Amino acid sequence: MTSNINLKINGARYAFSVRDDETLLELLRTRVGLTGVKKACDAIGECGACTVLVGGRAIYSCLYPALRADGAEIVTIEGLAVDGGLNPIQESFLKLGAIQCGFCTPGMILSTQALLEENPEASVQDIHDALSGNLCRCTGYEKIIEAIMMAKQTYAKPVSRRG
């Protein structure tokens, strides 16, 4: 069975007919072409590579039914640009070499975005907690934490709810 939904993705409006079992991950990657949303753990919600923002909240798109997103505002890594450039979190990850292979980076950055929107003064423990659902196989997370601490200092305003 299919149902019609309407979404706002990275500031643009979309209408889709979706299957009842279709995930937001499938919709974003295959129908919208947003390949920054990664498929990694085979839809068991274990790695965080598919993290996107739904209404400013970080979610695993591999576990999130596309139907549930009806009417939502969604931001992917492709939608974080500020005036055509990188946002402060992306800049700090790049500057401090917190990207390694890059596969987990979009999910890490979006989890960080949600954290800093909610708590711009996040502590190191808050950062650890916010990233607890994001797996990186390349690092010991030290550079990632450093990059987030740097981004915190230049973080200006939320971007996930832009219109």
What domains can be seen in the chain, in order of their start residue?
Answer: 2-79 (3.10.20.30), 88-154 (1.10.150.120)
Residue 163, pLDDT score: 41
For the chain (163 residues), the mean pLDDT of every run of 10, in chain order, is 97 97 97 96 90 97 97 97 90 93 94 95 96 89 95 67 43
Write down the pTM of the prediction. 0.91
Alpha-carbon distance of 57 to 91, in angstroms, equals 21
Q: Which residues contact 149 (CB under 8 A, 6 or more apart)?
A: 124, 127
What pLDDT does residue 132 have?
94
What pLDDT is stored for residue 161 in this prediction?
45
